[in-house]
Each structure stands twice: as C-alpha cells, then as structure tokens.
C-alpha cells in the first residue's frame, strides 16, 4: 500500500460524510500519497475502508498516530481538532482542518485557493478550511471584488441536510416517508444536534443552523460574516447572513445581494467576468430556464452561479444565485485543493 513517492497522509474523521468525500477526492485528483492512515474516534476504529483498490483499517486517532505524518486532513468535529491538531503539528505534520476550531485564530490562515492561496505561506502548522456556505460564496464574489471592489454582501442561504452529517440525512429521509404516510414523527437531530429543541425538516424550512448567539444571529450566520471578511482580507466589508436549513440532501444554494465599490457593470459584463472566474461554472440563461440547482450540483466540484441581474434601484447593486455541493467544494474538495497548493508552494515538510 506504500508508494515510493508522495506524502504520508492522515485523514481524521475518515468514516464521516466529509471524510468519505475526502478519500474520493484524494483518489480522483491522484494526490501523491506514500502512506495513508485513516483515523477516527474509538467508536469507529476497526472499520474497513477501500481506497484505490486497497483495504484500510480505520485506527483510533491518538497523538502517537501522527508520528511520521506530513499532511493531516481533519474533519471529525471541533473538539477532536482542538485536542489533536497541535499534536499532529508537534510531530511535523501540516494540518488542514475542516472544523470551525481554528478558523478565526489570527495565527491560522483561512484559505480558499481560488481566493487567497498565498495566505498559506504564513501558516504555522494549521490551515483552516472555511465553512461550506462561506466557501462557495467567496469563490463567486472574488472576480467581482478583484475588478470592482465590494462594499456590502447580504446572503440568504438554502442549505442541505448533509451539512449536518449522515445521521441528519437519515432523519430527513425517514421523516419524509413518515410525513407522506401521515405517520407521527419524532425529530431528534435537526436543526442542530445537541440543541434543546428539534423540529420537522421534511417539507419545511428551518431558519436555524447551528446554535444562537446573544446578538440574535446563529453561529452559522456569524461564520459566514466573519470568515468572508477574513478570507477577503477586508475588515470593513459589510456582510450579513440569514441561514436556513431545507429538506435537500446535498447542495447548498444562496441568494446573494451585493453592492460594489466602483463602477456599475451591466449584468452581461458580470456574467462574462464570472464565467472566466476560477472554480466557477456559469449557468445563466433565463430564456432557456438555465440556472443552478442543488440536485444538479451533487458530485461536482464547481461553484455554479446564475440568475445574475442588476438591482432595479441602486446602480452599483446586483443579485445572483450560487449553488455548490456542500460536501465537495464546501468541504472535502477545498481541503484537498489546499493540500495541492501546499505541495505546489513547497510548504509540506520532506
């Protein structure tokens, strides 16, 4: 199972929804791996997972498991990252962390390669992968920011259940059947595992993702607000978010309003600009009913943008619709892209 060239890679949280997509992405992108270690909680240790035709046994993530690891991809929850990412770094690994544990740490770069790849050069062992809903939005915003500058962003999200994990997907599916069969339902996970109350997600829209802060915004909304400013290195960028969970399995959608700093391009100019943007696929032809949709995004790494149109009142304002697979570009794919950038920029230790 060992190659001569490549890196010693550990995937932490290998049995989760994102971990599964990480392995698929590493496979598809043919990331150079010398040794692969699949790590998880004690509970999932012992499971078998196949990678490039070989079977791997998942091991418990312990500090010692990171001996010799050069690249560790973490996606096993914030507390695991808090406990083990420093242990991995201590042993020489560079950590790409897909939890919220380090995202706003000023010593940790928060990176979407299409937007701020160079921030990787200042890493101190840990690099944070942004929140799923933030990533797809900043990819869509970046070409506009670069050319016209950004003043204000208001986003309302339409987020898929797989962002809350595999158990949440199962809850949604079973509950959907029960509602269709007019059976009683008993929500136990959504909107937020671990919060006090749980609500029906089937055939509903829940305006809560993650818990509430004292200011009336949810943590998910504050993530979008703070992470966008950090990734774009623009503290005075106005950002507001309303995050809503939908009965969609995979694929986050976003209704985005922006005001630009300078200029007032027409919608066609913005479409051209975005169609040339890194990581973006434009799907914008209203007369043919072409626009991005969650179900069409599943399994694809692109950020899909459409419905681009001018605000009818403000010269410098625009509306558009952004969709992406929340498990791929929103999580696993972006993490592996970061890993590729680390290789390209020669930032992994030999």
Residues with catalytic roles: 132, 252
Q: How far is the CB of 245 from its own copies (least distance, A)?
A: 10
Does 91 show up as a binding residue in the annotation?
no
* From candidates 47, 51, 166, 212, binder to its own copies by CB under 8 A: 212
Residues 23, 15 contacting (CB under 8 angstroms): no
216 binds its own copies, rule: CB under 8 A: yes
170 binds its own copies, rule: CB under 8 A: no
Helices of type H across the chain: 17-28, 78-90, 113-116, 132-148, 166-180, 219-231, 267-275, 294-297, 333-344
200 binds its own copies, rule: CB under 8 A: yes
Q: Report in angstroms the alpha-carbon separations of 312 from 144, 258, 293, 318, 344.
A: 19, 13, 24, 9, 44
Does 200 show up as a binding residue in the annotation?
no
Cα dihedral 300, 27, 171, 292 in deg (nearest 10) = 0
203 binds its own copies, rule: CB under 8 A: yes
**CB nearer its own copies, residue 126 or residue 327:** 327
What is the DSSP track for 172-208?
HHHHHHHHHTT------SSS-TTSS-----TT--BS-
246 binds its own copies, rule: CB under 8 A: yes
* From candidates 35, 116, 255, 275, binder to its own copies by CB under 8 A: 255
**CB nearer its own copies, residue 255 or residue 275:** 255
Span of 44-52, 75-83, 96-104, 154-162 interacting with its own copies by CB under 8 A: 154-162
CA angle 318-326-97, nearest 5°? 110
**CB nearer its own copies, residue 123 or residue 271:** 271
Q: How far is the CB of 213 from its own copies (least distance, A)?
A: 8
- Which candidate, 129, 100, 133, places its Cα nearest to that of 252? 133
- Which candidate, 119, 122, 121, places its Cα nearest to that of 130? 119
* From candidates 44, 98, 136, 253, binder to its own copies by CB under 8 A: 253
The phi-psi region of residue 214 (left if phi > 0; otherwise alpha if psi is between -120 and 50; otherwise beta) is alpha
Does 15 show up as a binding residue in the annotation?
yes
* From candidates 27, 238, 269, 340, binder to its own copies by CB under 8 A: 238
Does 159 show up as a binding residue in the annotation?
yes
Residues 211, 218 contacting (CB under 8 angstroms): yes
177: Cβ contacts below 8 Å, ≥ 6 apart: none
Residues 228, 131 contacting (CB under 8 angstroms): no
What are the tokens at 177? Answer: 């059947």
x-or-dash string of contact with its own copies, 13-52, rule CB under 8 A: ----------------------------------------
Does 149 show up as a binding residue in the annotation?
no
x-or-dash string of contact with its own copies, 271-310, rule CB under 8 A: ---------------xxxx-xxxxx----------xxxxx
312 binds its own copies, rule: CB under 8 A: yes
CA angle 231-234-240, nearest 5°? 80
What b/e sequence results for 227-242 when a residue is b if at least 16 CB atoms lie within 10 Å of its CB, and e otherwise?
A: bbbbbbebeebebebb
**CB nearer its own copies, residue 97 or residue 221:** 221
Write out the binding residues for phosphate. 103
Write out the binding residues for substrate. 159, 245
Binding positions for its own copies, rule: CB under 8 A = 152, 154, 156, 158, 173, 176-177, 180, 191, 195-197, 199-200, 203-208, 212, 215-217, 225, 238-240, 242, 244, 246-249, 251, 253, 255, 257, 267, 286-289, 291-295, 306-314, 317, 319, 321
């Amino acid at each position: 199972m060992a190659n001569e060239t490549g890196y010693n890679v550990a995937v932490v949280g290998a049995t989760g929804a994102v971990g599964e997509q990480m392995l698929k992405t590493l496979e598809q992108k043919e990331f150079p791996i010398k040794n692969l270690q699949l790590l998880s909680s004690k509970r999932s240790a012992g499971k078998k997972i196949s990678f490039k035709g070989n079977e791997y046994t998942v091991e418990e993530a312990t500090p010692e498991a990171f001996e010799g690891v050069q690249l560790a991809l973490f996606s096993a929850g914030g507390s695991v990252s808090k406990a083990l990412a420093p242990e991995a770094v201590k042993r020489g690994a560079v950590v790409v962390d897909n939890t919220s544990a380090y995202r706003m740490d000023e010593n940790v770069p928060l990176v979407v390669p299409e937007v701020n790849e160079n921030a990787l050069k200042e890493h101190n062992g840990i690099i944070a992968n942004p929140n799923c809903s933030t990533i797809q939005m900043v990819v869509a915003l970046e070409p506009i920011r670069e050319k016209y500058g950004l003043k204000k962003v208001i986003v309302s999200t339409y987020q898929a259940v797989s962002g809350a994990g595999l158990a949440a997907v199962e809850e949604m599916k079973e509950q959907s059947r029960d509602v269709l069969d007019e059976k009683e339902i008993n929500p136990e996970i959504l909107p937020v595992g671990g919060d006090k109350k749980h609500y029906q997600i089937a055939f509903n829209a829940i305006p809560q993702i993650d818990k509430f802060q004292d200011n009336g915004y949810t943590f998910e909304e504050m993530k979008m607000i703070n992470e966008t400013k950090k990734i774009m290195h623009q503290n005075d960028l106005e950002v507001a978010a309303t995050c809503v969970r939908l009965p969609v399995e995979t694929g986050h959608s976003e209704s985005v309003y922006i005001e630009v700093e300078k200029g007032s391009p027409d919608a066609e100019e913005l479409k051209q600009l975005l169609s040339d943007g890194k990581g973006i696929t434009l799907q914008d032809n209203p007369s043919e009913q072409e626009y991005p949709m969650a179900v069409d995004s599943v399994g694809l790494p692109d950020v899909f943008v459409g419905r681009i149109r001018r605000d009818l009142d403000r010269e410098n304002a625009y509306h558009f619709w952004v969709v992406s697979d929340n498990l791929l570009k929103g999580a696993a794919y972006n993490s592996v892209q970061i890993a590729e950038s680390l290789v390209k920029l020669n930032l992994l230790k030999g």
